[in-house]
């Protein structure tokens, strides 16, 4: 397999991805002794906000995390519990390096998706979803051949063994505190696995789901599983609970970085994340059966935590410094009982941190925004482009550019967005004309001020919001508002005044000055 990141080929494993980052000058190795308790976060946060490189901490040292039963009063109120107290005991060197910020720029996010720029995958998806009607048998054959070429290596396949099981720990050998799991922020309830792919199966249909849910280490073989009310993992657990069964779970770390993207991808119901990853990487995902649970995981992962969740059991989980920029407070969540930990012989521990943006997850979210735009357009074709601002943590705000066709069109688009998967959580929707660059904040603010009358051009409603939204009227439910920032048509929404034209220069003059510009010395 070639080393150049432009080669369009799948990565063998996570460490291959890190090698390619290094060869491209995108990885900085840190040999200074650094603790996973807060110190890695502080370094990574500074690097992320300055647009710095991926980091590989090769000398991870510090006392073991203090694990105990949280104080319910302090945890619920959001104050530090026993978990977040400074770890005590003799310092030790952790047996593996920690990788972070590996996808923390547009270039590295594109490299993680095996392409020059992640917008390429949007083009591939659009070509499959909205193909041109063939004008001849020859064109039809070419389309069929192209489609077959895109899809022939998509379905995942089972294999007997993988590097993720070179080391197998069971029973008394299991000790999650020996992993360099990060305690990210001072008031966190303990160390958290922050970049997991959590594998479960629907107990009725057997369909696989892969989601990214934070996992709190609460003991040597116990974890808090943060399945929010709207998440598929929670629905799987509830289905199992309705029949009195527990649910098998596997938490995978590492492997081709495309897997992490698949875990956060807002796929339509019924589309398997591992199948989608096979499409993106142009190569089947090889899955190996877990040792103690009925779940299969990518064979090239670095570390796998196997276990089960009893739907009837809950425990305080949190607080946690979240992507909202605030701590999410401690609440009752399911418990993962660990039955095995498997890993490669010399693993790297992949991690990320979340907090006040911008962070690494901002680039992961931007890739989701652009890659899935064709799927949004399949349902709402008048949408030309969309910007979910990183600063608004994506689910809070959307700037939408449309090809306006009739009076009130903006309101139709607002309602459509509030009915689309994860976009249903959007609290503020701003709709603009097709000549507005919604990725240019100066342009967006100009259009809002120029074209929107707050008393007339708004739509106020209610609906589901992100469970972590602490501003909502109740957990998971709150208000939403949309603003029509388009040029108004005669009679639209009671508008009867003449509408002025936007100031623009004549095209012929602009072209002449473009040609003249190099000679002006400006």
Q: What is the CATH number of the domain that holds 415?
A: 3.40.1670.10
Encode pLDDT of 316-353 as tens digits.
Answer: 999 999 998 999 999 999 999 999 999 999 999 999 99
Is 227 in the same domain as 339? yes
DSSP structure class, residue 473: S
pLDDT: which is higher, 468 or 145? 468
Q: What is the pLDDT of residues 379-412, one digit of tens each?
A: 999 999 999 998 887 788 999 999 999 999 999 9
Write out the two tokens for 399.
Answer: 């700037």
129 pLDDT tier (thresholds 50, 70, 90) = confident
Residue 129: inside a domain: yes
Structural domains in the chain (count)? 2
Q: Do 335 and 397 lie in a common domain?
A: no
Pair 176, 225 in one domain:
yes
Same domain, 245 and 329: yes
Cis amide linkage into residue 319, ω under 30° from 0: yes
153 catalytic per annotation: no
pLDDT above 90 for 82: no
Q: Are residues 395 and 320 in the same domain?
A: no
pLDDT given for residue 135 in this prediction:
63
The pLDDT confidence band at residue 67, using thresholds 50, 70 and 90, is confident
Residue 415: per-residue pLDDT: 95
Q: Which SS3 state, helix, strand or coil, does residue 464 take? A: strand
418 and 459 within one domain: yes
Would you say residue 502 lies in a domain? Answer: no
Residues 117 and 19 in one domain: yes
Domain membership of residue 512 (yes or no) is: no
Answer whether residue 357 is part of any domain.
no
**pLDDT the model gives residue 89:** 58
Local structure of residue 436 (DSSP, 8 states): S
Residue 77 clears pLDDT 70, i.e. is over it: no
Structural domain harbouring 155: 5-350
Residues 225 and 107 both lie in one domain: yes
Q: Give me the residues paired with residue 331 across strands.
A: 317
Query: Of 190, 168, 180, 29, which Cα lies nearest the Cα of 93?
Result: 180
Kindly state whether residue 186 falls inside one of the protein's structural domains: yes
With respect to residue 509, please indicate whether it lies within any of the assigned structural domains. no
Residue 63: predicted pLDDT = 85
Quick one: which of 361, 385, 387 has its CA closest to 374? 385
153 alpha-carbon distance from chain centroid: 24
Catalytic one of 13, 188, 322, 466: 322
In terms of domains, do 26 and 170 share one?
yes
- The more confident residue out of 435 and 141 is 435
Same domain, 62 and 211: yes
Q: Is residue 153 part of a domain?
A: yes
Same domain, 313 and 403: no
3-state secondary structure of 109: helix
Contacts 24+ apart (CB under 8 A), 446-453: 447/485, 448/483, 448/485, 451/484, 451/485, 451/486, 451/487, 451/488, 452/483, 452/484, 452/485
CA 126 to chain centre: 21
Q: State whether 342 and 415 are in the same domain.
A: no
N- to C-terminal Cα separation, the chain: 48
Looking at the chain, the whole-number percentage of residues with pLDDT higher than 90 is 71
**CATH code of the domain covering residue 161:** 2.30.110.10
> Which tops the pLDDT comparison, 134 or 415?
415
Residue 426 lies in a domain: yes
**Rg from Cα positions in the chain:** 25
- The predicted pLDDT at position 37 comes to 96
What pLDDT digit, counting tens, does each position of 423-478 carry? 888 999 999 999 999 999 999 999 999 999 999 999 999 988 877 778 888 888 98
């Amino acid at each position: 397999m070639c080393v150049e990141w432009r080669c369009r080929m799948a990565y063998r494993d996570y460490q291959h991805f890190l090698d390619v980052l290094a060869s491209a000058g995108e990885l900085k190795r840190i040999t200074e002794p650094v603790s996973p308790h807060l110190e890695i976060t502080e370094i990574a946060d500074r690097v992320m906000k300055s647009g710095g490189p991926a980091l590989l901490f090769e000398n991870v040292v510090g006392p073991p995390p203090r694990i105990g039963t949280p104080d319910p009063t302090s945890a619920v109120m959001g104050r530090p519990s026993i978990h977040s107290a400074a770890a005590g005991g003799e310092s030790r060197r952790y047996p593996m390096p920690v990788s972070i910020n590996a996808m923390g720029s547009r270039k590295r996010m594109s490299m993680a998706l095996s392409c020059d720029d992640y917008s390429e995958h949007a083009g591939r998806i659009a070509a499959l979803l909205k193909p041109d009607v063939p004008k001849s048998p020859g064109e039809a054959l070419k389309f069929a051949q192209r489609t077959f070429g895109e899809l022939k290596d998509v379905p995942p396949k089972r294999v007997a063994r993988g590097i993720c099981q070179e080391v197998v720990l069971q029973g008394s050998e299991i000790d999650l505190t020996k992993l360099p799991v990060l305690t990210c922020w001072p008031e966190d309830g303990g160390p958290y696995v922050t970049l997991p792919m959590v594998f479960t199966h629907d107990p009725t249909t057997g369909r696989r789901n892969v989601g990214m849910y934070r996992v709190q280490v609460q003991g040597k073989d116990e974890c808090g599983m943060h399945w929010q009310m709207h998440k598929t993992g929670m629905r799987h657990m509830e289905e199992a609970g309705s029949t009195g069964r527990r649910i098998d779970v596997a938490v995978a770390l590492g492997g081709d970085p495309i897997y992490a993207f698949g875990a956060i991808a807002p796929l339509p119901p019924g589309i398997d994340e591992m199948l989608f990853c096979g499409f993106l990487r142009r190569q089947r995902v090889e899955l190996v059966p877990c040792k103690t649970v009925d779940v299969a995981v990518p064979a090239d992962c670095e570390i796998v935590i196997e276990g089960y969740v009893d739907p009837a059991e809950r425990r305080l989980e949190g607080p946690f410094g979240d992507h909202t920029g605030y701590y999410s407070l401690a609440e009752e969540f399911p418990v993962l009982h660990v039955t095995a930990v498997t890993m490669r012989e010399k693993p790297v521990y992949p991690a990320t941190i979340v907090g006040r943006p911008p962070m690494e997850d901002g680039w992961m979210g931007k890739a989701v925004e652009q890659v899935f735009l064709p799927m949004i357009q399949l349902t709402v074709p008048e949408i030309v482009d969309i910007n979910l601002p990183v600063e608004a943590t994506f689910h809070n705000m959307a700037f939408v550019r449309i090809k306006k066709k009739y009076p009130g069109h903006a309101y139709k688009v607002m309602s459509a967005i509030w009915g689309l998967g994860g976009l249903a959580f959007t609290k503020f929707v701003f709709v603009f004309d097709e000549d507005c660059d919604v990725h240019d904040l100066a342009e967006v603010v100009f259009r809002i001020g120029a074209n929107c009358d707050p008393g007339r051009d708004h739509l106020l409603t209610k609906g589901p919001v992100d469970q972590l939204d602490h501003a909502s009227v109740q957990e998971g439910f709150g208000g939403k508002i949309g603003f029509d920032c388009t040029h108004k048509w005669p009679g639209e929404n009671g508008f009867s005044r003449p509408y002025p034209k936007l100031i623009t220069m004549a095209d012929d003059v602009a072209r002449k000055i473009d040609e003249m510009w190099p000679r002006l010395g400006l």
